[in-house]
Chains A and B, each alone.
Chain A
Amino acid sequence: MKISYYPGCTLSTKAKGYDRSGRAVAAALGMELVELPDWQCCGATFPLATDNSMALIAPTRVLHQAEEAGDQVAALCAICYHVLKRTQTALDRDPEMLERINWFMEQEYRGEVKVVHFLELLRDGLGWEALAERVTQPLKGLRAAPYYGCLLLRPYDEIHLDDPEDPVILHDLIRALGAEPVDFPFNIECCGSYLTVKDPSISADLSRQIVASAREHGAEVIVTACPLCQFNLDYPQRESLEGIPIVYFTQLMAVALGLPETDWGVEDLYVDPRPVFREMVAETVR
């Protein structure tokens, strides 16, 4: 099955491993992620000012390209997903704005393409049981803490992915892979987001709190779907000898589906998850 795929700026640069592992696990599950032709950055923020129509132009262009390519488009980056989905909702609720942007862009975006996160394809398309059946290296005994962050879930009335206060989608995924999801009270707290550019010490403090809480609850790895969360949680640990790996859910899947290490795409993470992952592989072999 072919699915249009929007990688976004960060998955083509800093978070290439998320992209690589995502494409590899999709292929292993019989889905081909087909990159949209001629795409550009979505802008990385959804404009919250009602008169900032400029910031809607880039994501609308992406939506238009996606609509030309098919009936749905999948993203891995939680922020791209958030921006595209909110832009679509905003234009749906404001036909005048849609008309103005189409006029300016000389395009005809109709608002019919469905924006999905890859996690939704797994949950609603494939299903957790079917995923569990494809697992060849169950991550038995691995204590993995799902960290949702903000933009994958909120605002609920526009995103509709999961319960914004008590999400389960990553928990269910972790369980399907044979690992044990670790609940911890900071799993929907903010990592500091863009503050990492302006006040890195604030985001580093928030992130340390999140990582420390996951550790106290017994986590061996923290699992995320967002490249900014991944960076904010991982970077402050770069010099620590006892850091917890912050991995993308696709990387955990790549291990569980028995894909080769080259498909894990973990080389660029600060805390190397390979020791933990290799132990999982070795245990299956034993």
Chain B
Amino acid sequence: MRTTISADKVRSEFVREVEEISGEDLLACNQCGKCSAGCPVASVMDLLPSQVIRMAQLGMEEVLESRTIWICASCLTCVTRCPKGVDLPRLMEALREIALRSGVTEIDLSQLPEDLVDELPQLAIVGGFRKYIK
């Protein structure tokens, strides 16, 4: 993938919004990769968690199209291990929020398997809807 990096993008409105919603300083991350190494769902992600924060640092809005931001289950393993104290789950949530607020919907309620809906614990439904629909 070819991409252009520029000072404008790094200081863009997008970066500012991500930092504001997440409350995190993106440049605190020095790309050590510990988050990706310990992420239990990294194997099914299209971008590794450390790549997501790298793209956010560089103002690459295409990060919003990544499956990774929806696959992150907010298990908080990475934040427990980050040597720089970056709360990556907050960054993931900020990216999800930006996508959801722009009208994206991650689950189609009519497509949920009926047998599963009957069995799901209530907190999975309440929590899942909060994570994936606006």
Contacts and interface: CB of A to CB of B under 8 A. Distances in A.
Interface in B79-99: 79-80, 87, 89-90, 92-94, 97
Interface class of chain B by DSSP: helix
Interface residues of B, number: 42
A42 to B, nearest CB: 9
Interface in A158-217: 164-165, 188-190, 192-200, 202-203, 205-206
Contact of B22 (A50, A156, A188): A50
Contacts of A206: 40-41
Given A48-B93, A165-B80, A190-B41, A197 B130 contact: no
Interface string B94-115: 1001000000001100001100
A227 B121 contact: yes
Given A197-B112, A198-B128, A192 B121 contact: no
A49 B93 contact: yes
B27 to A, nearest CB: 18
Contacts of A55: 130
Interface string B108-134: 000011001001111111111111100
Interface of B: 20-23, 40-41, 44, 70-71, 73-77, 79-80, 87, 89-90, 92-94, 97, 106-107, 112-113, 116, 119-132
Interface of A: 8-10, 13-15, 41, 43-45, 47-52, 55, 77, 79, 150-151, 154-156, 164-165, 188-190, 192-200, 202-203, 205-206, 227-228, 230-231, 235
